[in-house]
Structure 1
Amino acid sequence: MKKQFAVIGLGRFGGSIVKELNDLGMEVLAIDINEDKVNEFAPAATHAVMADTTDENALRSLGIRNFDHVIVAIGDNIQSSILTTLMLVEVGVPHITVKAQNDYHEKVLNKIGAHKVVHPERDMGIRIAHNLVSKNVLDYLELSDEYSIVELIAGDRVHNHSLMDLDLRAKYGCNIMAIKRGEDINVSPAADENLKKQDILIVIGADRDITRMEQDLFDDDSD
Structure 2
Amino acid sequence: MKEKSYAVIGLGQFGMSVAETLAESDCDVLAIDAREENIQEIADKVTYAVRADVREPEVLRTLGVQNVDVAVIAVAENMEASIMATMQAKELGVPYVLAKAMNALHGKILEKIGADRVIYPEQSMGLRVARNLMSGGFLDVFELSTEFSMAEFPVPTEWIGKSLQELQLRESHDINIIAIKVGNNVEINLDPVKPLEADWHLIAIGKNKVLERLN
- Report the TM-score range of the alignment, normalised by the length of the smaller protein: 0.5 to 0.7
Structure 1 Cα separation of the partners of residues 3 and 116 of structure 2: 21
Structure 1 Cα separation of the partners of residues 114 and 153 of structure 2: 33
Aligned residue for 2:211? none
Structure 2 Cα separation of the partners of residues 150 and 55 of structure 1: 36
Aligned residue for 2:55? 54
1:140, CA displacement in angstroms?
1.7
Contact 2:32 2:50 in 1 (8 A): yes
1:88, CA displacement in angstroms?
1.2
Within the alignment, does 1:82 sit opposite 2:83 as a pair? yes
Structure 2 Cα separation of the partners of residues 125 and 70 of structure 1: 20
Change (3 A) 1:29 1:151: closer
Q: Give the structure with the larger helix fraction.
A: 1
Structure 2 Cα separation of the partners of residues 97 and 141 of structure 1: 18
How high is the TM-score relative to the length of structure 1?
0.56
Structure 1 Cα separation of the partners of residues 126 and 68 of structure 2: 31
Aligned residue for 2:94? 93
Aligned residue for 2:12? 11
Structure 1 Cα separation of the partners of residues 14 and 120 of structure 2: 10
Contact 1:14 1:73 in 2 (8 A): yes
Gaps of 5+ in 2: 128-135, 143-150, 155-215
1:151, CA displacement in angstroms?
7.4
1:92, CA displacement in angstroms?
1.4
1:64, CA displacement in angstroms?
0.8
Contact 1:11 1:75 in 2 (8 A): no
How high is the TM-score relative to the length of structure 2?
0.58
1:62, CA displacement in angstroms?
0.9
Contact 2:68 2:94 in 1 (8 A): yes
CA-to-partner distance for each residue in 1:77-134, whole Å, 9 max, x for gaps?
11210111111111211110000100101100000000001111112399xxxxxxxx
CA RMSD of aligned residues (A): 2.5
Structure 1 Cα separation of the partners of residues 21 and 42 of structure 2: 12
Q: Which runs of 4+ in 1 moved over 3 A?
A: 149-152
Gaps of 5+ in 1: 127-136, 144-148, 153-223
Paired residues for 1:1-223 under 5 Å: 1-124=2-125, 139-141=138-140
Asked which structure has the greater CA Rg, the reply is 1
Structure 2 Cα separation of the partners of residues 10 and 151 of structure 1: 25
Structure 2 Cα separation of the partners of residues 114 and 75 of structure 1: 13
Contact 1:54 1:87 in 2 (8 A): no
Percent of pairs with identical residues? 39
The higher relative CO (CA closer than 8 Å, separation ≥ 6) is in: 2
Structure 1 Cα separation of the partners of residues 20 and 64 of structure 2: 22
